């Protein structure tokens, strides 16, 4: 396969197909979190859990829009393994907790179809595109320093481990999470926690800011919506140390991500200016 860094047409088709479902799910979960009993694939309570999942979906919307817009595969490639793991975990959670869903409801049929097919489609997209990255810098690029790369990767590793452990053994967090969870919603939260880990760990192999700029935008968007959800649905938070710890963790994560994004954008702009001079 020629290393021309093009995004293959199949990948754009997958993005175009997935996007409408993400938008619909975001509307139902984030804007109407108290109506999941009537409108969604299964009843989610409390509303904070629905809004958390909706926050992950809005990040996915941002990401897949970039897949349609971006001209080069390396700009979005590290988001696809994260999507693959997330979708695969939700497919497993669906099968394990099959009895919790609203059978026959259009939302359930859509959910089941989406999560039983998306892991396969995303895996195919990864295979078709992966070798296309020539490992070259973008016209506007910057080599992220080693220290912030390791710091972000370390945070991602912790998030990934926590997500996987919670997904495998949801009973470990029973009664100890920042808000009330069921076995199904615990696994959903675990799947959400794997997303930053599956992205950030790639920083150990690739220092190009252009390989993370658009994915970081998606993560920042998700964090903004999570923080807003914590404010809107603050009544769902438990009266325990876990609740303020989670809130502080999300706010600090948002500040760190925005600071790193701003720093890398400034440095990449300086690189372009230096080249022009």
Q: Is residue 65 within 8 Å of residue 213, measured between CB atoms?
A: no
**Measured distance CA(154)–CA(101) in Å, rounded:** 36
> For position 3, what pLDDT does the model report?
67
Count of structural domains within the chain: 1
**Measured distance CA(82)–CA(140) in Å, rounded:** 25
**Measured distance CA(75)–CA(146) in Å, rounded:** 20
**Domain-located, residue 4:** no
Confidence of residue 71 (pLDDT cuts 50, 70, 90): confident
> For position 275, what pLDDT does the model report?
43
Query: 30 pLDDT exceeds 70?
Result: yes
Query: 276 pLDDT exceeds 90?
Result: no
Q: Is residue 33 within 8 Å of residue 233, measured between CB atoms?
A: yes
Query: Which pLDDT tens digit goes with each residue over 235-254?
Result: 999 998 999 999 999 999 99
Taking CA atoms, 125 is separated from 59, 84, 131, in Å, by 19, 10, 11
**Residue 81's domain spans which residues?**
9-276
Q: Is residue 127 within 8 Å of residue 117, measured between CB atoms?
A: no
Choice between 275 and 218, residue whose per-residue pLDDT is larger? 218
**Domain-located, residue 119:** yes
């Amino acid at each position: 396969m020629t290393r021309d860094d093009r995004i293959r047409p199949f990948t754009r088709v997958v993005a175009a197909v997935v996007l409408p479902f993400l938008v619909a799910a975001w509307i139902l979960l984030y804007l109407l979190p108290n109506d999941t009993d009537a409108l969604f694939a299964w009843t989610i309570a409390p509303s904070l859990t629905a809004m958390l999942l909706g926050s992950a979906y809005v990040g996915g919307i941002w990401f897949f829009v970039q897949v349609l817009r971006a001209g080069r595969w390396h700009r979005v490639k590290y988001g696809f393994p994260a999507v693959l793991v997330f979708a695969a975990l939700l497919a497993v959670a669906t099968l394990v907790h099959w009895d919790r869903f609203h059978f026959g409801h259009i939302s359930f049929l859509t959910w089941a179809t989406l999560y039983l097919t998306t892991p396969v489609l995303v895996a195919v997209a990864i295979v078709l595109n992966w070798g296309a990255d020539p490992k070259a810098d973008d016209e506007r690029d910057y080599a992220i320093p080693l220290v912030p790369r390791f710091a972000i990767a370390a945070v991602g590793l912790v998030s990934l481990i926590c997500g996987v452990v919670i997904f495998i053994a949801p009973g470990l967090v029973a009664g100890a999470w920042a808000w009330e969870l069921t076995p199904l919603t615990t696994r959903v939260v675990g799947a959400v926690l794997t997303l930053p880990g599956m992205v950030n760990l790639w920083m150990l192999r690739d220092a190009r800011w252009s390989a993370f700029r658009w994915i970081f935008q998606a993560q920042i968007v998700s964090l903004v919506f999570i923080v807003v959800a914590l404010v809107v649905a603050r009544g769902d938070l438990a009266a325990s140390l876990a609740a303020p710890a989670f809130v502080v963790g999300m706010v600090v994560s948002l500040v760190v991500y925005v600071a790193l994004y701003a720093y890398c954008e400034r440095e990449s702009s300086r690189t372009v200016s230096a080249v022009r001079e």
